[in-house]
Amino acid sequence: MIDLTYRNLESYNQAKEKAKNNPEAFWSEIAANFHWHKKWDTVLEYNFHKPEVKWFIGGQLNITENCLDRHLETQPDQTAILFEPNNPSEAAQHISYKDLHSRVCRVANMLKANGAKKGDRICIYMPMVPELAIAVLACARIGAIHSVVFAGFSAAALAARINDASCSMLLTADGGYRGDKVTPLKDIADEALKKCPTVNCSIVLKRTGQAISWNTKDVWWHEAIEKADDHCPAEIMDSEDPLFILYTSGSTGKPKGMVHTCGGYMVYTAYSFQNVFQYNKGDIYWCTADIGWITGHSYIVYGPLAVGATTLMFEGVPSYPDFDRFWEVCAKHKVNQFYTAPTAIRALEKHPVALVNKHDLSSLKVLGSVGEPINAEAWHWYDDHVGKNKCPIVDTWWQTETGGILITSLAGVTPQKPTYATLPMPGVQAVLLDNDGNELSGEQEGILAIKHPWPSIARTIWGDHERYKNVYFSAYPGYYFPGDGALRDTEGNYRITGRVDDVVIVSGHNLGTAPIENALDEHENIVESAVVGFPHDIKGNALHAFVIPREPVADNETLIAELRTLVANTIGPIAKPDRIQVVSGLPKTRSGKIMRRILRKLAAGEYDQLGDVSTLLNPEVVEEIKRNS
């Protein structure tokens, strides 16, 4: 195992000092712990105005050699991936580093045999089975750029992502298990591929054995893999070559394909994984995210494997077969570090605590939270009942764009503070800005920004560098602007207060309201719509859609049902609004701009906080919305 960890406050403080005084020396010392075919010539070049960021320039590597090959010498039999299936009666799988290496190489050869090569984009639309992680690593092995699309997305969303990156290959499965449901992945993929001319091969893993249709470009995974041997030299990549694209929602327009590159991403995910979770050799670490999201990329696959950890991969859901599944799995596999999302905690907190207590959770040492602000109630429930007040909780703030955790405590090393993500990692320079972009000092509330690059910052938006500049570097020139607000206490601890743009985080999923409005507007009887978030007990936020019909309808319920289906088909079931309200108009300014601030207050039922509505073009609709809600 590779050790990059600060184990006490003193060494943490030293690291912080060093990173502040000489970031390049700091990061090059960390990067020296990895296997490079050629060492970098220059540590960092950047310009946030352009914007451009490059790390470890001239360095050559393959991330899979760091995640796999080098561990073969020291710990070939250590479990790399511990797979827990959806159905508890199916056996768990312990895949050693040696086995994982061999399976990745075989899949890499299978990809090559089917035409894949360095630089190609390969879309992966698969359930949470080991082959998903193997597929990701196999792409990296041959230098193909993977684009994993979460297996809950619709055919239209999948097609849009495949086409945006002109993927030449799709890796999918017949179906996927999730709780008591089976997702017909192949059917959805078939539907998507009708609109994807660039895909010339689709490799299908058999997981559920369900009936599927078969097309000329389809290849069975189990047949193709037969012909592939397990020797596959790693493609040598430049540090700044793209490793993957991962789509995230924006406040406007289509999803953004964030591009991460090989060298910096590897260094930062490994460094942050080990420090944040204080991983020790032999520990069993479990992150409950899906590999379809950045958390799964960085903290199920790359970060843990880069340091030689054992990473647990779970196919199922927290509620199946019962609401104690997480705790059952923790006890069964003696999990040491457990990393989940506030929405899961809030959902589980509603069930009798006996469901937690019936399992032996004494192996747990560290708990983690990610994806949205964790409210005090959920934090304390997690601390009391899961951690029994003896496990530090790391509340980790970061984003798809940041590649790795930026603000967090380090488990047991730095102080935690409930509902606060606490301090920036050594090497991360966070600041608070006022609306005019002036840095605030001391205890303040403001806009969170980062003023110096860290190695895993996304380098661009695939095919749209201008948008990358506009979204992240234009609002506050000279800073990276993540789109979140925060407050800071006297000790410098940050508490993230939420998005400051039109992205709503629902159950930890980042949803742009604009694409949902576009989907609603597709309905033949909808003229205009507006979607806002409102606070929700379990999901954190839920969506409230206001829709204006072209013609008043006799039966709103039917219209609402059609709209929900439309959103599910266009984006995916996760984007379905909880509430759809049919209205005759939307509150607008005299220049015709929808007053979202007012809609948010209306959706939250905060009628006394609407402010002055008399300057609106149509103040009467506010009354109507209140009456009909």
Which residues would be at the binding site for ligand WTA (CB under 6 A)?
A: 248, 293-295, 369-373, 395-400, 421, 482-484, 496, 499, 505, 510
Torsion of CA 463, 466, 472, 476, to 10 degrees: 170
CB of 372 to ligand WTA, least distance (A): 5
d(C-alpha 232, C-alpha 235), whole Å:
9
| Smallest distance from ligand WTA to CB 469, Å | 18
Of the pair 95, 370, the CB lying nearest ligand WTA is at 370
Considering the complex, state which of residue 161 and residue 499 has its C-beta at the smaller distance from ligand WTA. Answer: 499
Q: What is the DSSP string of 396-465?
A: EB--TTTSS--B---TTTS--BTTB-BSBPTT--EEEE-TTSPEE-SSEEEEEEE-S--TT---EETT-H
Mapped onto helix, strand or coil, the DSSP state of residue 55 is: strand
DSSP class per residue in 553-564: -S-HHHHHHHHH
Helices 556-570 and 155-164 meet at what angle, rounded to 10? 30
**Whole-angstrom Cα distance, residue 576 to residue 554?**
23
Q: d(Cα 2, Cα 306) in Å, to the nearest integer?
A: 8
CB nearer ligand WTA, residue 176 or residue 342: 342
Which of 370/548 has CB closer to ligand WTA?
370
| Cα gap 248→510, rounded to integer Å | 7
- Rounded to whole angstroms, how far apart are CA atoms 398 and 510? 12
Q: How far apart are CA 207 and CA 81, in angstroms?
A: 18
Nearer to ligand WTA, 255 or 483 (CB): 483
The minimum distance between CB 509 and ligand WTA, in angstroms, equals 7
Q: Which is nearer to ligand WTA, 139 or 421 (CB)?
A: 421
Residue 534 CA to residue 531 CA, distance in Å, equals 10
Smallest separation, CB 230 to ligand WTA (Å): 34
Token pair of 361, please? 């959770």
| List of E strands, 250-399 | 256-261, 284-287, 310-314, 337-340, 366-370, 393-396
Q: How far is the CB of 407 from ligand WTA (least distance, A)?
A: 8
**CB closer to ligand WTA, 242 vs 482:** 482
CA-CA-CA-CA torsion sign (116, 119, 120, 123): positive
CA distance to 30, 137, 321, per residue, from 14 (Å): 14, 35, 47
Q: Which residue lies nearer to ligand WTA by CB, 275 or 399? A: 399
| 539 close to 343: Cβ distance less than 8 angstroms | yes
The string of DSSP letters for 154-221 reads: -HHHHHHHHHHTT-SEEEEES-EEETTEEE-HHHHHHHHHTT-TT--EEEEE-SS-------TTEEEH
For 345, the enclosing helix (H) or strand (E) is helix 342-349
Pick the closer one to ligand WTA by CB: 189 or 276.
276
Closest CB 287 distance from ligand WTA, rounded Å: 11
> Smallest distance from the beta carbon of 348 to ligand WTA, in angstroms?
18
277 touches 425 (CB < 8 A): no
> Please, which residue, 51 or 403, has the CB nearer to ligand WTA?
403
CB of 298 to ligand WTA, least distance (A): 8
Instruction: Confirm if 64 and 107 have CB atoms less than 8 A apart.
Output: no
Q: Nearer to ligand WTA by C-beta: 199 or 370? A: 370
Return the axis-axis angle of helices 262-277 and 23-31, rounded to nearest 10°: 90
Residue with tokens 């990549």: 237
Bridge partner list, 546 = 530, 581
How near is the Cβ of 260 to ligand WTA at its closest, in Å? 12
In the complex, least distance from residue 590 CB atom to ligand WTA, rounded to whole angstroms: 32
Q: Which is nearer to ligand WTA, 130 or 342 (CB)?
A: 342
- CB of 461 vs ligand WTA, minimal distance in Å: 13
- Min dist. Cβ of residue 373 to ligand WTA (A): 4
